[in-house]
Structure 1
Amino acid sequence: MFIKQAYNAKTEWWRYFIGIILVFLAWQLFGALPLMAAIFLETGPEILTLTQEEMLNVLESNLAFFLLLLSFAVGLAALFFVIRYLHNQKIKDATTSRKKVDWGRVFFGFSIIAVFTVVTTLIDYNLRPEDFLWNFQAVPFLILAAIALIMVPLQTSFEEYLFRGYLMQGLGVLAGNKWVPLIVTSVIFGSLHLWNPEVEKLGYIIMVYYIGTGLLLGIMTLMDEGMELALGFHAGNNLVGALLITADWTAFETNSVLKDVSEPSAGLDILLPVLIVYPVFLFLMAKTYRWNNWKDKLFGRVTRPETLKYSEEI
């Protein structure tokens, strides 16, 4: 099982405590230094008075996008270092229970959300054209595409390896079950979006969407015994979203094809994905990969193997 593979590594609680601190410092401190330095060069000491949204608006859109995602890339490198050298675990074992990473699953997860996002955006655009502006400019868009194709998968992979990999396995081993890591990682994942401008604009109800998305990705990981579907799904959601549509009140304001100029509202647009669309995604994945034994895979116990071994190579 995916969580049980952590027993092949060093799983003492203090290693996870130190690991989280190291990753957080790399991500939020060292990884953010280039972004803060660039903003400081533009604003000087005034940087201390700016909100997060105002800071990002100081810089050219593509530069701000790149530097913001750079912090996640630094966090991912630190996380891989912690997994490999603090826990002596193979990166493959933090990714999947299969003998090797199934890239077909990554592509399937990517495709299912990418197609859904493109189709629903086109439908929305045709039904409510007054709510959108044609935002496409060739050169800025091509620069954005180059940045996004490289940096967005690093950003989403960092979040997946942190929550659905490192913490899912660590909490599963420490708690001895699967439901605790599923719930805890989903709530923490959603809570980290509290500082997104969407929360200020739409209110705390949007946390239903963020925590619900965490649950979706966690269920994918536990049912499929690996992170491949979640890795692809998360990357597809953020990459297509960054390239296709932007708005003044979103976390990523990009040189995308379209700009949503409608007045956002918190209601069915938030609840429908979680209550209807996400279960449909899970149904399609369950049929494709023949998932079964849902109760045990989501709520069963995680038992310590009789024999343990530490991974010797990455």
Structure 2
Amino acid sequence: MFIAQAFKYSHSFWRYLVIPVLFFGLMALNFVFIEMMDIDIGQVMQEEIARKGSNRVLVENLLAFVIFLAGLFLWVKYVHHQPIKALTTSRKKIDWSRFWFVFILVGAFSIIITLLDYFANPEDYVVNFELEPFLYLLLICVLLIPIQTSFEEYFFRGYLMQGLGILARNRWVPLIFTSLVFGGLHYFNPEVTKLGDIIMIHYIGTGFMLGIITLMDEGLELALGFHAANNLITALLVTADWTAFQTNSILRDVSEPSAGWDVFIPVLVIYPLFLYIMARKYKWTNWKEKLTGKVEKPVELEPERF
């Protein structure tokens, strides 16, 4: 239902081509420029933080997503003639209780795991808390990080999933494509440089996790809450000199990072646990059909006007 409802609105191929071409084209140009100029992103980030402060750098990095999200919403409304609710959910109205349930679930889990590691390995952390910078960080995070994560969810699990779904007439193509591309775009994160390509298992696995809960729940509410909690808690609770988010967080990880078998824990243990909890709560059934089945155009719809 979530994908098929896009048939109700203007859905010709060219309408679904423009935004992805612009977005991926911008990402490609950025990558080519960095490679041609041989820019060390990590070094540039450290220099910018030293000159402007981490809060200002964070704001500058996140403001682009305000433009991206506004542009996507305007395109959907005026070119596809589709209400934002139909890009969000197949339900009669957006179910914010779903958003808050998974937000609290993921947020609480992240806090507990971080605190357990802090008390088990105190030598790996230093207390980074300063009241005034942290309060500014809190304001920035609450206002802007949900916009950043919402753009990524609306673009990948909403717009691309619906567009690819009605084009391919199935669910498995948009699930695989959006998960691989979402994870692949994280290849440019400084974590990959520090930890190696193996960390991509985590990013791609996260893409599949978010895609699965979107298709099983027939809406974005859970994915929006999951992604917002993950990024918000990460930015506020713990940071490191080699991560994408370098903030005035409560803790700073000073351990020497490495990636090995532990990269598989979220994908093989934690994410299945989250899926089990959500499946029980929302009574998900018919997994094969919802994840790989056909997307049928409702027979009662009139042909689209170009």
The residue that corresponds to 1:12 in the other structure is 12
Letter in 1 for 2:3: I
Cα distance 1:226–1:309, how it changes in 2: closer, same or farther (>3 A)?
Answer: farther
Among 50, 58, 82, the alignment partner of 1:65 is 58
The residue that corresponds to 1:234 in the other structure is 227
Structure 2 Cα separation of the partners of residues 262 and 13 of structure 1: 49
How far off its partner does 1:52 sit? 2.4
Structure 2 Cα separation of the partners of residues 120 and 13 of structure 1: 45
In the superposition, the TM-score normalised over structure 2's length comes to 0.92
Choose 300-309 or 74-83, whichever is displaced more: 300-309
Structure 2 Cα separation of the partners of residues 309 and 53 of structure 1: 53
Is 1:269 the counterpart of 2:270 in the alignment?
no
Is 1:97 the counterpart of 2:86 in the alignment?
no
Q: Is the Cα contact below 8 Å between 1:23 and 1:79 reproduced in 2?
A: no
The residue that corresponds to 1:135 in the other structure is 128
RMSD: 1.8
How far off its partner does 1:269 sit? 2.7
Is 1:54 the counterpart of 2:43 in the alignment?
yes
Q: State percent identity of aligned pairs.
A: 55
Structure 2 Cα separation of the partners of residues 130 and 209 of structure 1: 25
SS of the residue corresponding to residue 259 of structure 1 reads strand
Structure 2 Cα separation of the partners of residues 55 and 252 of structure 1: 14
Is 1:162 the counterpart of 2:155 in the alignment?
yes
The residue that corresponds to 1:38 in the other structure is none
Unmatched runs of 5 consecutive residues or more in structure 2: 31-36
In the superposition, the TM-score normalised over structure 1's length comes to 0.90
Letter in 2 for 1:145: L
Letter in 1 for 2:171: K
SS of the residue corresponding to residue 94 of structure 1 reads helix
The residue that corresponds to 2:104 in the other structure is 111
Letter in 2 for 1:276: V
Show the 5 A alignment for 1:1-314: 1-23=1-23, 50-57=39-46, 58=48, 59-308=52-301
The Cα offsets for residues 171-192 of structure 1, whole Å up to 9 and x where unpaired, read as 0000010011000000000011
Cα distance 1:147–1:310, how it changes in 2: closer, same or farther (>3 A)?
Answer: farther
How far off its partner does 1:50 sit? 4.2
The Cα offsets for residues 241-266 of structure 1, whole Å up to 9 and x where unpaired, read as 10000001100100000000111111
Letter in 1 for 2:16: Y
SS of the residue corresponding to residue 281 of structure 2 reads helix
Structure 1 Cα separation of the partners of residues 135 and 39 of structure 2: 30
Choose 50-59 or 143-152, whichever is displaced more: 50-59
The residue that corresponds to 2:33 in the other structure is none
Structure 2 Cα separation of the partners of residues 112 and 296 of structure 1: 27
The Cα offsets for residues 22-43 of structure 1, whole Å up to 9 and x where unpaired, read as 4557x769xx9xxxxxxxxxxx
Equivalences, count: 293
Letter in 1 for 2:299: E
